[in-house]
Structure 1
Amino acid sequence: MKKIIKSFFCFFLITTLSNASIFAKTSINNSSSKFLATVPPVVTSPIYLCQNSVAAPLTATPSGGGTLTWYAASTGGTALAAAPTPITTSVGSTTYYVTETVGGIESTPRTPIVVNVVADTAGVLTLFCDAANTTPTSVAFDWNNVTGYLGYNYSYSVAGGPLVYGFQVAPSHFDVPVPGPGTTVTFTIMSVLGLPCVKPITVTCNSTCTAAQKVTPTFNSTPTTYCLNDVVVLPTTSTNGMTGTWSPSTINTSAMGTIVYSFTPDSILFPCALDATIGISVEPIEPDFSDFSLCSGDVVPSLSNVSPNGITGTWNPATVDNMASGSYVFTPDLGQPCSPSVKTINVTVNPSNTINALNWTTTDAFTKIQIVTVTEPVGINYLYQMDSGPYQTSTVFENVASGSHSITVKDVNGCSQLTNNNVLIIGYPKYFTPNGDTYNDTWNINGLSDLSSNSRIYIFDRYGKLLKDISPKGAGWDGTYIGQPMPADDYWFTVEYSENNSIKKFKSHFSLKR
């Protein structure tokens, strides 16, 4: 009995101790799960972006392999759907936040990422060749110091060689040593420390050359004249041994004419050499005879056996017919450069002496604005001239002066012309000067005698007193009355004449000047 009781007690004790151990382990594990925090993600902050640059979504590295969650605020708010992409249109600073979740536990507090948008300072940096300090063995560069700079990262290449990198705080000047005259140096300011948004700037300069070193390429053996559609290749090495390139790069022989081509020597091999130009002409393959015209009956022009552009040949027919229009064919001689083609010209023979009559009309005598109008011949094939004035297409001449005039009409081909010198405009002198100098000493209406044989002119003073009765056929009035000279003044006249079978009367005044 005692053994049974002792065995039960031992079992109870072992069971109790086992349960206590399990309870203790469970309590310890629950406590660890409740108080162990998730490690935050790894970020880079602050981030600098240039204004108006293209931004990428923000990134972070989960330190515990968890899931990232993004926020726009340090606390509260709704999580963003994805990593945010910063907006770079405005200068300023924006803070974003990120957390990491592992096993359902999110890291706290939220980790900030500061994004600074910096103003784009493109254009504030200028880099230029310093010609005053450049020599045959060095090339000088200058630039302006930008406000806020902490130094300049630069690179340069001599004659297309490898890049040399460097850093310079001050001054804003740099001399690049070169092996000799005319050497090309390309210099770049890559970045400005302290100003992240200053863009790189590059210039290319050459070391100086003496006048003797500035040699021009020659192409003495290169022809400058080619035929249409010839295949031509320009030499890439000049007669005096310089290599280079042409612009345009190929010769165009598809059209006639002359084109100037420029040769630029290799700047590395021939740094002091000058550019050269050469004119390449593409000759025509057709004789440049032109059509022509002549008047019927004109002296026959000879047809030349050499074209204006130097092509020889023969004509068929060999002579021009001056009475009929026709075609004439020129056949070039064989063996000439560019194998010129046959040329056909047309000769037009215009009729001669087709104008047989010339008629015109004038406005009435003493009309204020006198007009002469040609009535025959009329048409687009005629030109008209009054006296020695210019030819015109209009048949009307306005503001014609008093007196006799001539009218000439010719056709546009110059093969017919007719002139009449008896165009009379009736007017009157506005003044006369009876001073005995034999010039303009009397007053009369001379042209009226041709219009009307029985015309009479009556002259009055300003009070209506009749001073003189004269005929257009006579000597005129000499400015006297009963042998006494009349004073300088205005005098009136009345004229009676016949025009177009009608008796007319005209009255006006003129001046006597002494």
Structure 2
Amino acid sequence: MKKKHRSFLYLLLVVCLSNIALHAHSASEMETLRHGISVLATPPPTPTPQFLYYCLNESAVPLSATASTGGTLRWYGNDATGGTFSTNAPTPSTSTPATGGSPIIFYVTQEIGGVESSPRTAIYVYVNQKLDLYCQTVTPNSIKFDFSNTGQASYTYSYSISGGTPVTGTHTSPSNFTVTGLSEGQTVEFTLTAMGAKTCVTPEVYSCKTTCVNNSNPNFAQIAPICSGDPAPVLANTSPNGITGTWSPATVSNTASGSYVFTPNPTAFPCATTQTLPVVITPRATPTFTTIPTTVCQNATAPVLPLNSNNTPSISGTWSPSTVNTSVLGPVTYTFTANAGQCVVATKTTATITVQANVAPNFASIGAICTGNPVPVLATASPNGITGTWAPAVINNTTSSSYVFTPTAGQCATKQTLPVTITPRTVPNFPAIASFCEGTTAPILDNNVASPNGVSGTWAPATISNTASGSYVFTPNANQCATNQTLNVTVNPRISPGFNSFSICSGSVPPVLQTTSPNGIKGTWSPAIVNNMNTGSYIFTPDSNQCANPETIVVTVIPSNTLTDFQWTVTEAFAENQVVTIIAIGSGGKYLYRLDDGPFQESPIFEYVSSGYHTVTVIDEGGCSLPIVRTNILVIGYPKYFTPNADGYNDRWNIFELQDDVGSKIHIFDRYGKLLKEITPDGIGWDGTYNGRPMPGNDYWFVVEYRENDILKKFKSHFSLKR
């Protein structure tokens, strides 16, 4: 059954169930509903009727429905839910016909005690409704026609089988009709007219064909390709398996390819299908051969005459003569005869091959080339017009070789070989120039004088320098196959013997002046002996034939025992930068200073010295005085923190540097100014407790009273207790 018929039955079922529900409510239930004691849905109203049928533009009356006692009807448009209702019944419009048999739908409910019935009841209005006629069941022997109800139950019908005599009659419910006693492949045309229906319900006509079980198809054999113009076969009207029918086109063309369709007789063979025979007409062709050259060179490899042409399809045949002779100059005609049974324009086809004489390229010989000189470009066309390629393609200007010219294919020409000679360059063989000492006479370079092996040329620079080493390049004159020659000339600079000035203490044993310098220069001194009492200059003169300069040194005689003592000053106690300054006492000389185990320095000032006792050493830089050492240099400061954790290290805080100041005393405060402890520098110091209770890790303040240079002073600062 079609989908819309199922929908119609479903809606009809809903209406019936709604009416049943309406009558199921008792009077007491309705009364309860009115007083709001329950929220049961009210029953839907009953439409009268639910299905309406109108012709196009026919006058219509308002819709109607019967409400329950105490109920008020509510009318909606095409809204199954939601929308806006009206208490006035709508009048359907008949100005637009139904689309595809679909009705116009209205909905009606009723309201009782403020509650609207649900679901809403649908009313269907059909305008120009048509019969819905279709084939419901088709078998090889029967066809069942189905049609929808249009408001009446009787019809007249008429049907014919495969164009035969019509059969007529009348029919009442059900809404279907079966034609039986059919054969497979027969067509039934069924006409249905509604009796007593409105005039707008027009008759419907529908055709169906019974199914085929035993299909029998024509089996004409395929037609082989036909050469254009040859006689064409006649198309038979009966297939080999006995099926009769007609062809379209009826006659086979012998000039153009085409398809020919055989249609079986529909009465005698209703279940037989058509058969299509494609017929190919092969056009006549002239054999073409793309591999046969028009010319060949004398004595070249003879081309093979192909036995099949390049056409599609190819044409086979034989040649006369059957082979090509390239030893005889001139043209020769070869005749191709096509084998029988092929689609050709003419049986014979000719091809002419001309044997041409070979020509030798006439490139001129190439003269000898000096190594490295520019080389000529090898032309790709000979003077007599033969084109081709060289191998190698470029002349090498360093090595003698032969170059072969190969003519481009298609030219009747032979190869040509050109030998090219590369002459190596002569290397001038001027002898090397020995090194000489700076400032002596330099050797002379002669321009325009040939080398010992006969190469003439010029030098650059032209003159050898006697002050600096350099390179001198000999360039051969033009038109000589020779290379440059470079002479590297070394000018040895005069060196210093390498003696250094030195100092001695007065009265000490004078050193012996060496006659050989540290870098091996030999010579003599003047004066020859060092004076150990007076400072003086001494001149070293190198022996001859040594590239060295005279050298003068100074021997300084330092007075002995000039350092007798030293004094010192220290910045005031607790200064941010504690500076110790040393004042040497002596009769002259240069001194070096050291604090504790540090390095010796020339400056007598030491900055940022830590608190405590320090040792200072002063020495004579020349070693002509004994060192002086003092160990009692005191710098007064205070510890910035202490750690009273009983590990034996830094457990108490004190300013021990003031222990010799018997009048000094120290007061310790917390950060709120509360006095925690009074100690003296010569005591054991503060252990970080107050009244026997450990104080927390924090910053603590102190005030120390002390004397410095017999002046009573006070100093305030703070330190950290760390736990």
Please, what TM-score do these two structures have when normalized by structure 2? 0.36
Computing the radius of gyration over CA atoms, which structure comes out larger, 1 or 2? 2
Highest relative contact order (Cα 8 Å, sep 6+), 1 or 2?
A: 1
